[in-house]
Structure 1
């Protein structure tokens, strides 16, 4: 899927001036509240008419103000899921799902009700009313209703923002299946690095109405300067790994990365499974030599490629670990004591307990050629 956006539109005290192109299967729009994420989604959906610009989805022009093109929402084949599920309270789950079909001509209905129900794990909910569902269940039903309208693109406007951590953990695997198994391009609005690290293939960073960066998630999330509001608590990098083995005696799993192995708490994944791991900059220490006598099990050799001062007292150091870019946040004093400089060989030391549900998730799998 190719999404091309070049928009200019009034947005409160400033203007939305967003220009980017994405070919990712799940494109995340990231930024703090008021950055323009939801306005951008509403423009793609056809809920607002932009003052100027173009929107092209998979070669189909939805908006081109210079040529007076504006495809109305009901003709865009766009599915939208909002932060609040917006289900009809008087209808059962089954009837809420089937409502999505009413707007699609019979000869254009490709989505299978049974497959969508199985994909989202909502078969046991079909006869219930929305008021009896958990927040995560309501969002899964809302996604199912959108899918059954046979959209050509799915827009998710902060679908996890109103959920507690337990409900987020409940729905996350279904969003991963949606990304991997449907072949349907998705745009996800989020202000959570953990969410986009686990779900996004591409990321567009918005700040004050401007798209300040866009590209593959592994590249964008490895640039701490793009996330100044988050500080060292969330900045980091993504690397691709595979399950190498399990250590049942200690409840651990060993992952193979390009630069070496990582030992993490036991994962219920078969050997050979591809996993994407987020290494948070705050969870890494640096050593000039391979350390001995430490409790840390994870040590990756690397080469310093860049140093950037983060604030008065700290620095962000980017390493090349056999082709994986790893970011380390440390004090300026530590950097000086180690004599850090470009091309210096170092060792990144990562604690095993740094890995949790927010940092380890399945990597992108090949999607089928067709849609759901």
Structure 2
């Protein structure tokens, strides 16, 4: 468990944040300038806040009231930066082993063989960083951080410097890290897609303050706290892969409701998370017939929120989970949408991109 409470004046930005991060991935989420990196640097010991207390697995590393400030190199944090920062003169193998040099007095929680297998590094061990792709470099950086026997992992926008192809390559490895390593992971990003795929807990920062924190599916289903705007609003559904069909579709079971999506790279029985964007959902008061869309989820409206423009966000509770639908106020009025009204959410299979489906804990 990571416990953070701090205040700090950073130029015009007054940071005042308090949150807890359990095992799994806790995402600091917000726009640029919201204070995410300042909080991460305070946790890492790279910034000393005006006041605060930080503990990692019940070990206090900062307590300004009692004059405690453990140096960054003794905080037992595996830091993953935007750029991999590998030693160019060392092979991948030596870069990985370097992380073990300062852990002789501590029990090594994760072996080199396990890290190599988990991150798919076996064929890269004799290469130098100059001969690696951006995604491969980041996988090595993650491995080096794990082999330092940390009490937590801190990842500061580790995918920001990668193109979409490299991001897609590395995200499954980060999912394995979340699910297989019992460590708190503090992950900084402003990408909704990364939050949806990786987060178990989300801490939303705005103007230096925490405006919402909690489980990822609940926070992302609240359009009022989406720092990146309503276009990024959406919901996360928990589902299991039921079967793969010969026509290229995978059938998922989400709370007893079948979801048909373009084939997902997970076996039957695997738990998955599915992100469905609010602007990809069409609402109908009656159960529709004769549509090309395969996914129809009945539910009950739990809230309606008008925006500054012509749009409105509708929250719909279904057996599969909470969905968000973005419609116009004109449509809402014509359909007589109201809290408690029954509705059907219509989702085209092809509107859910491969990167919107990720493996999850069972």
Give TM class, smaller chain. Answer: over 0.9
> What is the Cα deviation at residue 231 of structure 1?
2.3
- Partner of residue 318, structure 2: 321
- Partner of residue 348, structure 1: 345
For residues 320 and 289 of structure 2, the distance between their equivalents in structure 1, rounded to whole angstroms, comes to 25
- Partner of residue 48, structure 1: 47
> What is the Cα deviation at residue 107 of structure 1?
4.8
Q: Encode CA deviations 1:211-257: one digit per residue, 9 max, x unaligned.
A: 1111000100001111153322x211111011122221x21111111
2:304 to 301, 304, 307: 307
Q: Encode CA deviations 1:78-106: one digit per residue, 9 max, x unaligned.
A: 11010011111111111111111111125
CA separation of 1:107/1:196 partners in 2, compared to 1, >3 Å: closer, same or farther? closer
For residues 245 and 104 of structure 2, the distance between their equivalents in structure 1, rounded to whole angstroms, comes to 54
CA separation of 1:264/1:223 partners in 2, compared to 1, >3 Å: closer, same or farther? same
For residues 228 and 143 of structure 2, the distance between their equivalents in structure 1, rounded to whole angstroms, comes to 34
- Partner of residue 370, structure 1: none
Structural mapping, 1:181-330, within 5 Å: 181-232=180-231, 234-248=232-246, 250-258=247-255, 260-322=257-319, 324-330=321-327
Q: Encode CA deviations 1:122-168: one digit per residue, 9 max, x unaligned.
A: 11111111111100000011111111110010001101000001101
Q: Please report the RMSD computed on the Cα atoms of aligned residues, expressed in angstroms.
A: 1.3
- Partner of residue 179, structure 1: 178
Corresponding pairs, count: 362
Which blocks of at least 5 consecutive residues in structure 1 are unaligned?
366-372
Contact 1:227 1:235 in 2 (8 A): yes
- Partner of residue 80, structure 2: 81
> What is the Cα deviation at residue 108 of structure 1?
2.8
Which blocks of at least 5 consecutive residues in structure 2 are unaligned?
none
Q: Encode CA deviations 1:5-40: one digit per residue, 9 max, x unaligned.
A: 111112231111111223251101111111111111
> What is the Cα deviation at residue 201 of structure 1?
0.3
Aligned partner of residue 335 in structure 1, secondary structure: helix
Aligned partner of residue 43 in structure 2, secondary structure: helix
Aligned partner of residue 99 in structure 2, secondary structure: helix
For residues 256 and 313 of structure 2, the distance between their equivalents in structure 1, rounded to whole angstroms, comes to 20
Contact 1:195 1:358 in 2 (8 A): no
Q: Encode CA deviations 1:286-313: one digit per residue, 9 max, x unaligned.
A: 0011101111100000000100112220
